[in-house]
Amino acid sequence: MQTIKKDIRSLTKEQIREFFVMQGDKAFRGNQVYEWLWSKGAHSFDDMTNISKETRILLEQHFVINHIQVDTMQHSNDGTIKNAVRLHDGLIVESVLIPTNTRTTACVSSQVGCSLDCNFCATARLKRMRNLAPDEIYDQVVAIDQESRLYHNRPLSNIVFMGMGEPLMNYPNVMKAIEKITSDEGLGMSPKRITVSTSGVSKMIKKMADDEVKFKLAVSLHSAIEETRNKIMPFTKSFPLPELREALEYWYRKTKSKITYEYVVWKGINDDKKAIDALVKFCKYVPCKVNIIEYNPIDDGEFQQADPTVIDAYITALNNAGIVAKVRRSRGKDIDAACGQLANKS
């Protein structure tokens, strides 16, 4: 019977050290291998040039390295790059490199497909196949860091968990990936440059606060009126706004970290005064800022971007209430790389 070999990157450094001790080797060998796996990004045991041939064969017999493969890269005319990433079991997720004058941001996926059902999002139409493993999330970041160095002559500066999936429905793996991204044994990035975006899974927001995480939180709000929110994001019936508010207040008490609300304004859905007033009121509960995201049409026209005058009305109302609000232009629309467009089309 063939046994399924374990992904060596699911082991901690200590477990790899123990493996070598069990094999009658030195624990130190584990440190070397660990460094190859994480800091040096080895794709195969053969890459580990300062490890003896016998040891590499031994590793081969016991483990695999489930490294991702960038299957295709699409370049937008605004400099955005979209990677279609093939996982070890053949499934595909997408990640995006978004360059500006001063920074490069990686937008990474946390699930294959998505657990949620936002009516305006193309990813939501894909079934959730599975959660990504920590190393599969980490590898997406490494791939974009390399592309940033290659195409923009600078390292990656920021990471947003705004690709496919709901990160808080894959919380343990997202946390492990962030630990690696921020640790000196991984990429050594500051957690302040990482933003995790959620549709508002209240109990997990509280859990993150309890875990005293140091990264930033964004919430896809889109409406501060329960009935409207339930209609466009049906799963939110399980996460009502008063509960979300309470979780966000808890988050701020514990972390003192401002929240970003993501908000799209659609014709006939949230483009009236009532919707604006509700958002302004909601924004007063916890220190925050608002990013108004341009709507990226995904198909039949059920959702349409609201008139620019309404967007202006939102910005004015928020600013008058002392809340910072900005309009975020979409990037990479021509290659279906913008918010809500990730759907493995190619």
Burial class (CB in 10 A: 0-12, 13-18, 19+), 75: middle
- Whose tokens are 């080895």? That residue is 42
Given a contact cutoff of 8 angstroms between Cβ atoms, the answer to whether 127 and 117 are in contact is no
* Cα dihedral: 326, 83, 214, 201 (round 10): 80
**How far is the C-alpha of 175 from the C-alpha of 312, rounded, in Å?**
37
- Could you give the maximum distance between any two Cα atoms of the chain, in Å? 72
Q: Nearest-5° angle of CA 79, CA 81, CA 84?
A: 170
Of residues 298-337, which lie at the interface with ligand SAH (CB under 6 A)? 298
User: Should residue 339 be labelled a site residue for ligand SAH when binding is judged by CB under 6 A?
Assistant: yes
Please pick, from the candidates 262, 282, 323, 325, the single residue that binds ligand SAH as defined by CB under 6 A.
262
Please pick, from the candidates 68, 293, 325, 343, the single residue that binds ligand SAH as defined by CB under 6 A.
293
- Residues designated catalytic: 94, 339
To ligand SAH, the closest distance from the beta carbon of 82 in angstroms equals 14
**How far is the C-alpha of 312 from the C-alpha of 308, rounded, in Å?**
6
In the complex with ligand SAH, the residue whose CB is nearer, 262 or 271, is 262
Region binding ligand SAH by CB under 6 A among candidate stretches 52-60, 79-87, 290-298, 309-317:
290-298
To ligand SAH, the closest distance from the beta carbon of 278 in angstroms equals 17
Residue nearest to ligand SAH (CB): 340
User: Should residue 174 be labelled a site residue for ligand SAH when binding is judged by CB under 6 A?
Assistant: no
DSSP track, 200-236: --HHHHHHHHHTT--SEEEEE-S-SSHHHHHHHSGGG
221 is in an annotated binding site: yes
**Which segments within the chain are labelled E, that is strand?**
6-7, 63-64, 69-75, 81-86, 92-99, 104-107, 111-112, 130-131, 158-161, 194-198, 216-220, 259-263, 288-293, 324-328
Q: Are strands 111-112 and 194-198 parallel, antiparallel or unpaired?
A: unpaired
In the complex with ligand SAH, the residue whose CB is nearer, 42 or 218, is 218
User: Should residue 162 be labelled a site residue for ligand SAH when binding is judged by CB under 6 A?
Assistant: yes
In the complex with ligand SAH, the residue whose CB is nearer, 66 or 198, is 198
- What is the x/- site pattern for ligand SAH, positions 109-148, by CB under 6 A? -------x-x-xx---------------------------
User: Should residue 295 be labelled a site residue for ligand SAH when binding is judged by CB under 6 A?
Assistant: yes
Point out the annotated binding site for [4Fe-4S] cluster. 114, 118, 121
Point out the annotated binding site for S-adenosyl-L-methionine. 165-166, 197, 220-222, 296
Return residues touching ligand SAH (CB under 6 A): 116, 118, 120-121, 162, 166, 197-199, 220, 262, 264, 293, 295-296, 298, 339-340
